[in-house]
């Protein structure tokens, strides 16, 4: 397996890595570390890409060796190992395919992910928390890092709102297809009559942009409200007003944070999320002109969902954009999202071709 061209051009990547290593070994190269930051970032990215393709090469080699052995020895043990190697190779190929589909300018950025419950009351707040757990487990399985920027618990169960920052290779590119309304159909655990309920929650995804991106935020365009954080009472009650809510008046975008005890830290977090939301809004304007962005402003209610998770009367996850269906609902809710993510990236790729 000797990939060539585009993202597969290992020869060019290796040559560039050698150039960087030679540059870093020059006398005085480290005298101005701040200048080296983009070079070191490129070096890390090249090393990660080369390592991924070498892993794929090794998986292919191992599979071919066991396939050759299985032609001579058809014992159960040999066939079992061959099946394991085939599964591993298939997994690596899926990962490689997803890499080739991530070519957007912000795909490599960390992702800011927000979850809000919609129609359905306590059931929807509980559903929002189930989605939070799903993304947390996906993040953990990927080896990505997750940081809570804001968390507001529900009145009886679940959550009213949560904002996360997920950092890892191509985090935004992988998660951008999760943006939209997610619908759950199940027997409600909060209904004493055991009736079936439909719940909704919205997921919003923005790229975490760097400080080099120019997004103008004028002080006069902001309304900043300070209030006490909500949470448990007793000795844990927050006795100071440290929670911050910022409203961007021209766009009516509202962000808030209450995780930190410091009002200043909460304000900094709010501004970071606001910058990301404004940048995402600019990207959406461009996408709408190209007619490549699906409607993202639908109400969090019936008829606007991108994906439905059915637990009763049958068990199925269906993505309404791609038509992809997964019968193992429990696996999906436990964070096994790569199949659905890959399906959406392929769908997006085909849409852009037409």
The answer to whether residues 69 and 117 belong to one domain is no
Same domain for 320 and 178: yes
Same domain, residue pair 131 and 57? no
> Which DSSP string corresponds to 275-319?
HHHHHHHHHHHHHHHTT-S------SSTT-EEEEEE-SSS-EEEE
What are phi and psi for residue 138, nearest 5 degrees?
A: -60, -45
Q: In the beta sheet, which residues pair with residue 316?
A: 310
User: What is each CA distance from 304 to 180, 263, 301, 324, 347, in whole angstroms?
Assistant: 8, 37, 6, 17, 19
Among 85-99, 269-283, 321-335, 340-354, the range with the most confident prediction by mean pLDDT is 321-335
> Cis before residue 30, ω within 30 degrees of 0?
no
Look-up of token digits 């409600």: 188
pLDDT tens sequence across 112-169: 999 999 977 899 999 999 999 999 999 999 999 999 999 999 988 999 999 999 998 8
Q: What domain count does the chain have?
A: 2
Looking at the fold, whether 299 and 203 belong to one and the same domain comes out as: yes
Distance (Å, rounded) from C-alpha 227 to C-alpha 321?
Answer: 41
The CATH number given to whatever domain includes residue 60 is 1.20.58.410
Q: What is the CATH number of the domain that holds 201?
A: 3.30.70.1660
Domain boundary among 68, 100, 132: 100
Examine residue 56 and state whether it is found in any structural domain, yes or no: yes
The DSSP bridge partners found for residue 233 are none
> Is 105 a domain residue?
no
Most confident region among 205-214, 220-229, 285-294 by mean pLDDT? 220-229
Q: What's the mean per-residue pLDDT of the chain?
A: 84
Looking at the fold, whether 84 and 147 belong to one and the same domain comes out as no
Q: Tell me, yes or no, whether 19 and 38 share the same domain.
A: yes
Same domain, 301 and 159: yes
Owning domain of residue 11: 6-100
Q: What's the rounded Cα separation, in Å, for the pair 171 and 113?
A: 10
Structure-block tokens of residue 7:
């993202």
Is there a single domain that holds both residue 79 and residue 187? no
Residues contacting 324, CB < 8 A, separation 6+: 318, 339, 340, 343
Q: Is the pLDDT of residue 183 over 70?
A: yes
């Amino acid at each position: 397996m000797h990939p060539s061209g585009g993202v597969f051009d290992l020869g060019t990547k290796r040559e560039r890595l050698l150039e960087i290593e030679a540059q870093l070994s020059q006398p005085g190269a480290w005298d101005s570390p701040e200048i080296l930051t983009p070079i070191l970032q490129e070096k890390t990215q090249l090393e990660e890409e080369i390592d991924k393709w070498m892993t794929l090469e090794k998986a292919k080699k191992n599979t071919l060796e066991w396939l050759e052995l299985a032609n001579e020895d058809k014992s159960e043990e040999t066939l079992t190992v061959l099946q394991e190697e085939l599964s591993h190779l298939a997994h690596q190929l899926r990962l490689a395919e997803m890499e080739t589909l991530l070519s957007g300018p912000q795909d490599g950025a960390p992702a800011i992910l927000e979850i809000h419950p919609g129609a359905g009351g306590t059931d929807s707040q509980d559903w929002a928390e189930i989605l939070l757990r799903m993304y947390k487990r996906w993040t953990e399985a990927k080896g990505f890092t997750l940081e809570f920027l804001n968390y507001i618990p529900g009145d009886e169960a679940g959550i009213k709102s949560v904002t996360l920052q997920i950092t890892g290779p191509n985090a935004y590119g992988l998660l951008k297809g999760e943006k939209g309304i997610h619908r759950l159909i199940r027997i409600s655990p909060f209904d004493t009559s055991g009736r079936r309920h439909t719940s909704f929650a919205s997921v919003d995804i923005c790229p975490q942009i760097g400080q080099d991106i120019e997004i103008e935020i004028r002080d006069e365009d902001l309304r900043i409200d300070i209030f006490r954080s909500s949470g448990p009472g007793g000795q844990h009650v927050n006795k100071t007003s440290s929670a911050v809510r910022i409203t961007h008046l021209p766009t009516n975008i509202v962000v808030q944070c209450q995780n930190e005890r410091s009002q200043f830290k909460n304000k900094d977090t709010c501004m970071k999320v606001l910058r990301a939301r404004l940048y995402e809004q600019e990207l959406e304007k461009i996408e709408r002109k190209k007619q490549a962005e699906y409607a993202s402003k639908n109400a969090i209610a019936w008829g606007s969902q991108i994906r439905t998770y059915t637990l009763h009367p049958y068990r199925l996850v269906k993505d309404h954009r791609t038509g992809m269906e997964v019968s193992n609902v429990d696996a999906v809710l436990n964070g096994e999202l790569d199949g659905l993510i890959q399906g959406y990236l392929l769908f997006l790729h085909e849409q852009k071709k037409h």
